[in-house]
Amino acid sequence: MPFLDTITIGGRKAAAVNLNFSVGVGGDNGPADVMLIQTMFHYLAHVKGKLMPYNGFSPDALPSITGKCDDKTVRAIRLFQQSHGNRLLKLDGLIEPAKYEGRDIPSKGERVLTITLMHLLASDRHWYSKSGHYIAGLVTIMPELWPWLG
């Protein structure tokens, strides 16, 4: 199940979402964790309330938010990782939980895990959102995430 975590970047702490189980090819694919990743893709694809092409795939290629790691979800993960390969530690079709406690990511330019990069991009994207912090935006898109992120 996804959960709220605290990430430290350059000495500054911030709220972040995290996974309990890996999502994608060969992952545990817990339904709530998959739902979070699917919702993150939808959040990142919205700009000023409109669904826009993002990371090389069109809005109709976004996975449905079902909590099931289907072919469309796996394709979205792979495409996201390929599009951001220069910023990621791994390009393996798998989104793994991060371990933030006791770590300070030196800067936003460091190579990071996929879930961490999704946090960084969503944090940047929230400036274009009416819902404020991206976590509120995720819950707005998928209210079923509230028990874990609310």
The one-digit pLDDT tens for each residue of the chain (150 residues) are 999 999 998 899 999 999 999 999 999 999 999 999 999 998 888 765 666 666 556 677 789 999 999 999 999 999 999 988 999 999 999 999 999 998 998 776 789 999 999 998 888 776 655 567 899 989 988 999 999 997
pLDDT at 52: 65
Query: Cβ distance 93 to 25 under 8 Å?
Result: yes
Return d(Cα 77, Cα 24) in angstroms, integer.
7
Helix (H, G, I), strand (E, B) or coil at 70: coil
Type of residue found at 78: R
Q: Taking a C-beta distance cutoff of 8 angstroms, is the pair 34, 68 a contact?
A: yes
This prediction's pTM: 0.90
Give the model's pLDDT for residue 70.
Answer: 97
DSSP structural state of residue 107: -
Instruction: Please count the CA atoms within 13 angstroms of the CA of 120 that sit on its side-chain side.
Output: 18
- What is the sign of the dihedral through the CA atoms of 106, 132, 128 and 81? positive
